[in-house]
Amino acid sequence: MDAHGTRPAGASPDLPEGRDRDLDGLLSRVARGDEDAFAILYDQLAGPVYGLIRRVVRDPAQSEEVAQEVLLEVWRTAARFDPARGSAATWAMTIAHRRAVDRVRSAAAAAEREKRTTMLLPPADDVADAVEANLERERVRRCLNGLTELQRESITLAYYGGYSYREVAGLLGITLGTIKTRIRDGLIRLRDCMGVT
């Protein structure tokens, strides 16, 4: 989500290894209608966008559909991206998550969603992922393991599961106040562990 105010100078990037700067630069070229830049940006973002959507939506065909919508929206609205309000990666992932959640929260998808029983497990077919993604996954897993079980479950259900905090509270059998606190505390801990601003 974007915050107003400028990004503090010298702040830690959202992504390690300078990938943020690359993506920000690409996105500003995309905003000027550079199709080659969009192709490169696609190669950088399609994996995370699709992977995140798969986590939330589960169904491969629907995920592909949503991912296409998201990536085309990145192209279409690139000029509306404001680097002062966050990184290009975060901007794109925010769109991706929202679209995925819209898809599963729509009434038509409600029944389908009931079938998603193994939500906490990643789909089995992502073994062939890039080394880089595995590295990032390892980092994130380590940080997730540093959370309390309740924090970890709440965050995973809300983000990867696409559940609203009310639904998460229902699933875990805890109060709304508790879930809000646990998610916030957990995210702060994750953020610090990952070295995000």
Partner 1 sequence: MRLFRPDMHVMAGVYALDGIDDDAERSRFEHHLRRCQQCADEVRGMSATATRLAFAATQQPPAQMRERVLAAAARTRQLPPAVEHGRSAGEARQRRAGRSVRQSRPVPRLAWGVVAASLVVIVVLTTVLLRIQGELNRVNAHQAAITRVLEAPDARAVTERTSLGGTATVVYSHARHALILTSAHLPPPPRGKVYELWLLGPPQVRAAGLLPTTARGHTTPVLVNGVVHGDQIGMTVEPAGGTSRPTTKPILVLPLRA
Site for partner 1 in 145-174 (CB under 8 A): 155, 158-160, 162-168
Is 21 a binder of partner 1 (CB under 8 A)?
no
Is 109 a binder of partner 1 (CB under 8 A)?
no
CB atoms within 10 A of CB 161: 23
Q: Of 21 and 166, which CB lies nearer to partner 1 in the complex structure? A: 166
Distance CA 41, CA 60 (A): 22
Is 22 a binder of partner 1 (CB under 8 A)?
no
Q: Of 109 and 162, which CB lies nearer to partner 1 in the complex structure? A: 162
- Tokens coding 168: 């998460």
Options 24, 57, 58, 87; binder of partner 1; rule CB under 8 A: 87
Q: How far is the CB of 110 from partner 1 (least distance, A)?
A: 12
* Contact (Cβ atoms closer than 8 angstroms) between residue 42 and residue 67: no
Options 22, 25, 29, 42; binder of partner 1; rule CB under 8 A: 42
b/e per residue 87-96 (b: at least 16 CB within 10 A): bbbbbbbebb
Is 84 a binder of partner 1 (CB under 8 A)?
yes
Residue 84 has φ and ψ, to the nearest 5°, of -70, -15
Is 28 a binder of partner 1 (CB under 8 A)?
no
Q: How far is the CB of 82 from partner 1 (least distance, A)?
A: 7
Three-class secondary structure of residue 173 per DSSP: coil
Is 77 a binder of partner 1 (CB under 8 A)?
yes
- Tokens coding 57: 């939506």
Q: How far is the CB of 46 from partner 1 (least distance, A)?
A: 5
Options 27, 57, 101, 147; binder of partner 1; rule CB under 8 A: 101
b/e per residue 6-17 (b: at least 16 CB within 10 A): ebeeeeebbbee
